[in-house]
A and B are shown apart, each in its own frame.
Chain A
Amino acid sequence: MKLNSPLQVYKYLPQINCAECGDATCMAFAAHLIDRSKKLEDCPPLLKDEFKKKYIELQTLLAPEIRQITIGVGEHARKIGGDDVLYRHQLTFFNPTAFAYDVWDTMQESELVERINKIQNFKKFYVGKFLRVNMVAVRCVSGDALKFAGTVKKVSETTGLPLVLCSFDPAALKAALEVVKDKNPLIYAATEKNWGEVAELAMNYKVPVALFSPDLDKLKSLAATFNEMGIKDLVLDPGTYPQGKQLKETFERFVKLRRAGIKEGQKDIAYPLMAVPLGAWLIYKDAVTASYWETVLASVFIVRYADVMMLHSLEPYAMLPEVHLRDTIYTDPRTPVKVAPGVNEVGSPTKDSPVIVTTNFALTYYTVESDLSSNKINCYLAAVDTDGIGVEAAVAGGQLTAAKIKDTFQKANFDFKEKTTHSTLILPGLAARLQGDVEDATGLRIMIGPPDSGRIPGWMEKNWPPKPK
């Protein structure tokens, strides 16, 4: 965006501090516009006629450097692009890379439906939500426009996920568009050869369109030409070569395009980028090797700037790391990741099992939890609400206190007399200095665990069950 301080934004706001936006002052609201946690439309006065000019000006000034476009319709519609920074710590990345999985028009119908269901039903639980994949890319392999359109029809009847229609033949794209014209699919792709006809389709059907050329001069020429024709919902595919020097150059193209778009403000190429890790299957025929290499390619381009990618492997060992890495890169670094406070069971605890305390900082919590479960330690694990801060810092900062610990068990209705035979609580080693306070506050026996949850198994061997008083 062109503005970078709340003060600059403030100048365009109504400056009446009416608080309708939920912020006490226009200045506070301005700060939210800068960090992109609120939208212009959250300020009702700004939408009135008298501020229309400022509103329109702000729209331009606050627009992200990389154009944001939408593919698909309804609840599954997916936004891509919209980034403003080159490194996630500078703000955050927006709109996680959309994963489009391919199907093709020579598949048997039953096979097709099965594959689509695998794509749309995939889910992986992670920190309170499910990670999923997002789109279906239909490839025209037959070369037959009617057959392609038929497959696209079947796909759109089977799933509400956004579609990518893939063919370099404008006639095939047109036939498919006729079938799904109200679904806002992405069409792939315009090239140096077919661009005129594909542009015509993008204009007539008002759909986003991908431009493909590994030659950045050509790619920029295509983008400038489409832009000139008024087609602005563009995705750039600079070609993903799966190996060797060509892969190195592919990596460089992604870096160059994004740097030009964000750092140099080159509007001509400031569009979402597409990577095609699926190309791994062009060089490896063995499914495991191809899936591994596809995952490797996907990872490189999740980190470096792909906004949408074409994938083929539905193997869990490919999909799991891919969805996790995308979450890794797109998680907002400004907000610590938290888990819900409470007392959770790890394994199947009995009355003799230990009760262990940690914080609700997701990283700490999941580390402790996996250390316990991987060592088959049945226990209760309490996540104390420390605002998502780790143990050591929370003790120092006063977010982890005896009162908070007591509160956690009370809110969870966890009665030590009823749930345990030992009325004992284990504090993390890094919270040892809270021992006396917690003893006083809870009346429980307090033991101090190791400073690293990785040492809990050894600690347990020596210290559990607790010796009778």
Chain B
Amino acid sequence: MTKKIKLSELGSLFGGLDIQALEGVKIEGDVEIDLGQLGFNPQMAYALGHETAQVAFHLLNISRILGYPVDQMLGGQAAAPKRLSKLIESKFSVGKMEEWKTPIQEVVLGATSSDGGSRKSTVTLGGENSLPYYFDSPMPHRNYVTMDVFDMPINMAKAVKSNYEDVINSPAEWAKKVVRDFGADMVTIHLISTDPNIKDTSPADAAKTVEEVLQAVDVPIVIGGSGNPEKDPAVLEKAAEVAEGERCLLASASLNLDYARIAEAAKKYNHVVLSWTQLEINAQKELNRKLMKQCGVARENILMDPTTAALGYGLDYAYTNMERIRLAGLTGDAELNFPMSSGTTNAWGAREAWMVSSPLKEDSDWGPREYRGPIWEIITGLTLSLAGNDLFMMMHPGAVNVLKEITQTLYGSKETEPLNIDNWVSAVL
């Protein structure tokens, strides 16, 4: 901020203020000075009173130029503390991030009948122009949660399992339950039984499960393999075929399996590819590039999973990896500006989430685990939401609830009565 005034106008600015310290200083002539370009001298400010300080500083500079002995005049006054009787009125302002010029790609999951699918609703991810919830630019879409459904009973932490005991043998019922009762925006069907080391279910049988889930719910779905790199391409191909046109998310293409087959299936049957790498930004760039350049997957059909590590078990890497990816995307890296997905369920791998008590006798009491598990999932997800994650794959209904509440509050869609916090200090809690 630069303001030009004439020296002759200074007098009026000093009106009514204590300018004793300037006694003996006379200004003559009519020199134009530049306010706001020169530094600010605290000693001077101290001597003159804040409201006049900035003006006076320049005045004194000028005085110095004109040969007045201002330095002598000010000497020796700095020691005594200074009392002010009036606040220095200030205005706060801060700029926006000019370097965030590139928006994150928008990706639509699910397709309604008008677009060749059978979903009632779709989910749009991405489109951001800033870090999440920042004032620079409103987030175009809220965060979404897809809840896990498995094609066979699996080991789960007790706190999770108790919610699914009635549906554990029926993926279709399970899917219905998470949408109807737990507010899932989407459903992930994990075809883990296809793993040759588990049940080795055939791709054709696995595809039947996918069809059942598509019939049971009308939200967009994610189709997950077993994580077996040899088997997954065949499983996802078959699943993609039976779900043709539904714009499902195929999870996942990675560098350690035949990603080209998964990319091909997505293109052929109109689905979205989840590009999964393990906590390594350069690998993420490489895979995205390969999917686009080598396999010809369109930008609007790519979502990234840069890997979620649980709170206390590598979340620092996962968080920073995502934040770096998002910042790179916003500042123009066209190989990284895609929306992101988090396997937030990984939080349940943390022993703090599921163990009855600490294995270490030195630790303070860990308290009841029923409460530790869900909050572990919430905080793992919330932390990544702040780094830029868009879609959350989750398991515990309570955790889903709280994560949605906080992410939607920061997104700006939660209205509440204004609260007065001015007396929090004396509140009886």
Interface residues in chain A, defined as those with a beta carbon under 8 Å from any beta carbon in chain B:
87-89, 102, 106, 121-126, 130, 139-141, 143, 166-168, 188-189, 192, 195-196, 199-200, 203, 214, 216-217, 219-225, 228-230, 239-248, 251-252, 255-257, 259-260, 264, 266, 268-269, 276, 278-279, 281-283, 288, 291-293, 295-296, 299-300, 303-304, 312, 315-321, 324-325, 327-329, 331, 333, 337, 363, 366-367, 370-371, 373-374, 455, 458, 462
- The answer to whether A140 touches B352, judged by C-beta atoms less than 8 angstroms apart, is no
Chain A residues closer than 8 Å to B375, beta-carbon distance: 292, 295, 317-318, 321
**Among candidates B45, B350, B359, B378, residue contacting A228 with C-beta atoms closer than 8 Å:** B45
- The answer to whether A328 touches B81, judged by C-beta atoms less than 8 angstroms apart, is no
Bound CA span A228–B428, Å: 36
Q: For residues 73 through 101 of chain B, which have their beta carbon under 8 Å from a beta carbon of chain A?
A: 81-85, 87-92, 94-95, 97
Instruction: Answer whether A139 and B87 are a contact pair too, CB < 8 Å, given A125-B360, A316-B364, A321-B379.
Output: no
- The answer to whether B323 touches A168, judged by C-beta atoms less than 8 angstroms apart, is no
Nearest-CB distance from A358 to chain B (Å)?
Answer: 14
Chain A residues closer than 8 Å to B84, beta-carbon distance: 196, 199, 225, 228-229
Chain A to chain B contacts (Cβ below 8 Å), 14 pairs: A121-B364, A123-B363, A124-B358, A141-B426, A167-B425, A225-B88, A243-B409, A245-B416, A248-B133, A256-B135, A260-B92, A317-B372, A331-B316, A363-B314
Nearest-CB distance from B185 to chain A (Å)?
Answer: 19
**Among candidates A241, A252, A371, A373, residue contacting B419 with C-beta atoms closer than 8 Å:** A241
Q: For residues 362 through 384 of chain B, which have their beta carbon under 8 Å from a beta carbon of chain A?
A: 362-368, 371-372, 375-376, 378-379, 382-383
| Residues of chain B at interface, number, CB under 8 A | 82
Bound CA span A260–B83, Å: 27
Output the residue of B312, B359, B367 with the most chain A CB within 10 A. Answer: B312
**Among candidates B87, B327, B424, residue contacting A192 with C-beta atoms closer than 8 Å:** B87
Bound CA span A62–B245, Å: 59
Output the residue of A221, A240, A264, A312 with the most chain B CB within 10 A. Answer: A221
Chain B residues closer than 8 Å to A329, beta-carbon distance: 316, 319
Query: Which 3 pairs from chain A and chain B are nearest by CB?
Result: A244-B416, A316-B367, A317-B371
- The answer to whether A255 touches B134, judged by C-beta atoms less than 8 angstroms apart, is yes
Bound CA span A366–B317, Å: 14
- The answer to whether A299 touches B416, judged by C-beta atoms less than 8 angstroms apart, is no
Output the residue of A89, A257, A266, A291 with the most chain B CB within 10 A. Answer: A89
Q: A123-B364, A244-B417, A269-B92 are in contact. List 10 more A-B contacts (CB 8 A).
A: A139-B425, A200-B83, A229-B84, A243-B416, A246-B416, A248-B411, A264-B95, A327-B312, A363-B314, A374-B355
Instruction: Answer whether A328 and B315 are a contact pair too, CB < 8 Å, given A125-B363, A166-B425.
Output: yes
- The answer to whether B386 touches A304, judged by C-beta atoms less than 8 angstroms apart, is yes
Instruction: Answer whether A126 and B312 are a contact pair too, CB < 8 Å, given A282-B421, A329-B319.
Output: yes
Chain B residues closer than 8 Å to A325, beta-carbon distance: 311, 315, 379, 383
Interface residues in chain B, defined as those with a beta carbon under 8 Å from any beta carbon in chain A:
42, 45-46, 50, 53, 81-85, 87-92, 94-95, 97, 133-135, 197-198, 309, 311-317, 319-320, 323-324, 327, 349-352, 354-355, 358-360, 362-368, 371-372, 375-376, 378-379, 382-383, 386, 402, 406, 409-412, 414-419, 421, 423-429
**Among candidates B53, B362, B366, B416, residue contacting A320 with C-beta atoms closer than 8 Å:** B366
Bound CA span A126–B366, Å: 14
Chain B residues closer than 8 Å to A462, beta-carbon distance: 197
Chain A residues closer than 8 Å to B324, beta-carbon distance: 87, 89
- The answer to whether A141 touches B363, judged by C-beta atoms less than 8 angstroms apart, is no
Chain B residues closer than 8 Å to A318, beta-carbon distance: 375
- The answer to whether B81 touches A312, judged by C-beta atoms less than 8 angstroms apart, is no
- The answer to whether A140 touches B379, judged by C-beta atoms less than 8 angstroms apart, is no
Nearest to A295 among chain B residues (CB) is: B375
**Among candidates B135, B371, B428, residue contacting A315 with C-beta atoms closer than 8 Å:** B371
Output the residue of A130, A248, A318 with the most chain B CB within 10 A. Answer: A248
Instruction: Answer whether A88 and B320 are a contact pair too, CB < 8 Å, given A140-B426, A228-B46, A367-B314.
Output: yes
Chain B residues closer than 8 Å to A203, beta-carbon distance: 81
- The answer to whether B421 touches A141, judged by C-beta atoms less than 8 angstroms apart, is no
Chain A residues closer than 8 Å to B92, beta-carbon distance: 216-217, 219-220, 256, 260, 269
Instruction: Answer whether A321 and B91 are a contact pair too, CB < 8 Å, given A124-B364, A278-B429.
Output: no
- The answer to whether A245 touches B415, judged by C-beta atoms less than 8 angstroms apart, is yes
- The answer to whether B429 touches A312, judged by C-beta atoms less than 8 angstroms apart, is yes
Bound CA span A276–B74, Å: 43
Chain A residues closer than 8 Å to B95, beta-carbon distance: 259, 264
Bound CA span A293–B382, Å: 12
Nearest to B399 among chain A residues (CB) is: A292
Chain A residues closer than 8 Å to B365, beta-carbon distance: 316
Nearest to B321 among chain A residues (CB) is: A89
